[in-house]
Amino acid sequence: MRVIITGGSRGIGLAIARQLSIAGHELLLVGRNGESLAEARTALGGNALVFTADQTSEETPDRLIIYMKEHQFQPDVLILNAAAFFDDTLSVTEPKGEELERILLANVVSNYNWVRTLLPLIRQGEYPRILVIGSTAGLRADTSLYGISKAALRNYALGLREELKPAGVGVTLIHPGGTFTERRVPNKRTAPDRLLEGSDIGLLVSAILSLSQQAVVEELTVRPMLGDTF
C-alpha cells in the first residue's frame, strides 16, 4: 500500500513509519522541518518520499497533490498524525480565545482540509483508509486547550466514519495515552514504565492495515498499564 503520514518525521509519526516500512508499504512523510524529514528518510533506509510544508496551511494539501503526481504516488491510506501542543497550561478559562483558535486550526481544521482535498484520491485507492491519531485527552474531562481540540477531532472522525461508509472508505480513530517521543522522555516525575513506546502505536497501525477489505477498526484506545499520566 501507499501511505501518507502527516507529522511523519518524528515521534509517533516516525514510529508508525518504521513499522509500515518493515511491512513493505510505500511511504510519503509530511512534516514542517526539512532536516527532520531528511533524518527520518535516512532512518527508513531512504525508502520514503518526504514533503516539507506547513501542515496547517490550507494550500499544503493541493501542493502535495502536485508533488504526488510528479512522483507517481497514488495514495491508498492517509494517516492524520500531525498535532500541536502549544501550552501546558491546565485551564480552559485563562487562555485567550486566539490560543484556542490556534490549536483548533492545528489539530482539527487542518485535518479537515487534508481530508477534504485528498479524499477523491483516497477513494481511488486499492485499500482506501483514513486513520486519525487522537488522544486519551479527548476522552476524559481534561482542563487544557489540547483536550478540547482532541475531543473535537474525535467528533469529526466519528462523523467521517459514518459519512464514508457507503463510499467504502474505512476510518479508524486511535487514542494513545502518554507516549515516549523526542519531547517527552522519562524524568523524575514520569518513570519509564508510565509511558507507551512509539512502536506500540506503530504496531497497532500496521495490524489495522493488514485486515481484510471488509474489516474496519472504528475506535481504539491504548494506555500505559497504570493509566494516563496527566
Q: Determine the average pLDDT of the residues in 115-131.
A: 98
Strands 26-31 and 49-52: parallel
Against a cut of 0.85, is the pTM above it? yes
Q: How many residues does the chain have?
A: 230
Whole-number percent of the chain with pLDDT over 90: 85
Contact 38, 9 (CB under 8 A): no
Considering the chain, what is the average pLDDT of its residues?
Answer: 94
Radius of gyration for the alpha carbons in the chain, expressed in angstroms and rounded? 17
Q: What is the pLDDT of residues 143-164, one digit of tens each?
A: 899 999 999 999 999 999 999 9
Q: Is the pLDDT of residue 192 over 80?
A: no
Q: Is the pLDDT of residue 22 over 70?
A: yes
Domains of the chain: 2-222 (3.40.50.720)
pLDDT of residue 46: 94
